Amino acid sequence: MLASIGLLVLGCGQSDPGGEASVVSSTTTTAPDAADDQDRVGEGDELVDGTHQVTVDSADAAAGTVRVDAVEVLEGTEAVLAYLADTDGAQLEGPQVYVRDRVDSLEEVPVDPDGTFAVIFAPSCCEPQDLGWHGFTDLAANHFPDVWGNSPPFRAVIDNGRITSLVQIYVP
């Protein structure tokens, strides 16, 4: 059974500064279906090239790596059903959004330090601010103080085995 890592409310239909789609609304399901899982996770639950939803455990500026945990951000009926399954029948309270841990282990992935590393600082603002790699690692070292959300999920883009973009998913 997969462990839950938190309940979130998603909203705000704006895109991230890197030009990638980061529109998440309360009427759109952001989780991949089972057929998409093959494209998102490689053998041994390893993250492969593509776009993933993750939480960030740590970032190492000197090594140029980030340690991430693959998650699913679910909404609506999918969120309710996943939460019921993960909690042996407990009801999902509040907004119908659930962040589900996808794998049991963390993965350390190299980054492109010239990529986009953006976070959201205020609940009234949907637009993530790009901090650059070193600014991002400073925040990650302190578990993202002053960043909106508790253990916020990010949209990670992996290209040629390296993370080229980590943009926080808006959480009001």
Q: Which phi and psi angles does 29 have, rounded to 5°?
A: -85, 130
Each residue's pLDDT expressed in tens, for the chain with a length of 172 residues: 344 444 443 334 333 344 433 333 322 333 333 334 333 334 445 789 999 999 999 999 999 999 999 999 888 899 899 999 999 888 888 778 788 886 788 999 999 999 999 998 876 666 889 999 999 999 898 888 877 776 788 999 999 999 999 998 875 5
Q: Which of 10, 49, 15, 22 is nearest to 159 (CA)?
A: 49
Q: What is the C-alpha radius of gyration for the chain, rounded to an integer number of angstroms?
A: 15
